[in-house]
A and B are shown apart, each in its own frame.
Chain A
Amino acid sequence: MKSTYITVIGSLPVNFDLDQARHLGPVIASANTNKSNYFDYATVNSEINMQDMLNSPSFKNSTILAPEMLYKKYIFFSNTCCLPEFPGLTSFDIDPNKCTPQTLSLLLAVYLRQTIIFLVGYDISNPTELTRLKSIALANPDCKFMYITNPPRTYQLDDLPNGYCDNFIKFQELIDNAKQK
């Protein structure tokens, strides 16, 4: 896969037509928070969410990625897939079985080597989540992390050389440009 953009939908409900984001490139959902939309990939690490996703029509054509421990229990469902071993997990102090699905989605986006990662509905109100996002961003200087939010903008990513913040209007403009191409 070699598209430039990838969109990570975090753990927060998003009031935006997420189907449009697929015009930019692949979209990764974090568990079943925004399950009324269609996604290319979805990450999950809890059994309850996994069962809900397997029974939701919107995830029928999505690749549902889970850590090996959970994946083994649902191996016979064709749209499930085992998450790859992400490099440097121990240095980030991340346990794929216990961290939030949005962290898994972010790690997957980095693993897929896309140049610009849009973070939509990504929860950074939790300090642990913010620290993890920053650690991953610092470890991947070639990726740009674009945090999409409603005004007022956040300044929490300003200390990152590859962290940016923009609003949904700019995100929509980018999608519209991609549609025209």
Chain B
Amino acid sequence: MQSKNKFYKYTLKLQWPAVCRNRSVEILKDRPDLVDQIEKFRKKIDNVTKIICRDSVQIDGNYLMSGVNLWFVSGQDAYEFIIRQPEFEWEITHKLGVLNELTNQLQRFDILYTPTGIQIN
């Protein structure tokens, strides 16, 4: 993912709040309360990334039932976003995507949570 010459190398998926997950568009049409929660959640992500990230972050506009994809330019920002999850009371899926600049392939790695931090497998 490229925009304004920035190379968005890292991607994470942040899960919606539990009540909003696994909802089809049809259901969302009948449940404005859920749409409202999703909107608030998006705003929260936007605010948090502005506070904790030093480089650009893109929040994917496409709707996914499980959560929202985020793209980071800086690896340190992606790490910060993962490690500070408890502070913001949200949950990231245990996968980290990294765009390989040599092969242009998106590589997926497992994020393993340990008592002392995280490991990439």
Contacts and interface: CB of A to CB of B under 8 A. Distances in A.
B98 interface: yes
Contacts of A155: none
A114 to B, nearest CB: 14
A72 B75 contact: no
Interface string A41-74: 0000000000000000000000101000000110
Contacts of A13: none
Contacts of A65: 102
Given A63-B101, A84-B100, A84-B103, A72 B73 contact: no
A81 B75 contact: no
Most buried by B among A65, A76, A78: A76
A84 B96 contact: no
B102 A72 contact: no
A161 to B, nearest CB: 29
Contacts of B76: 76-78
Contacts of A73: 120
Contacts of B96: 75
A82 interface: yes
B107 interface: yes
Contacts of B78: 76
B79 A81 contact: no
Contact of B75 (A75, A83, A84): A75
A77 B98 CA distance: 11
Nearest to A65: B102
B109 interface: yes
Contacts of A81: 100-102
Given A72-B109, A73-B120, A78 B73 contact: yes
Contact of A75 (B73, B98, B101): B98
B64 to A, nearest CB: 24
Nearest to B118: A76
B121 interface: yes
A75 B120 contact: yes
Contacts of B120: 72-73, 75
Contacts of A76: 75-76, 78-79
17 contacts: A63-B101, A72-B120, A73-B120, A75-B96, A75-B109, A76-B76, A77-B75, A77-B76, A78-B9, A78-B75, A78-B76, A81-B101, A82-B98, A82-B100, A82-B107, A84-B100, A84-B103
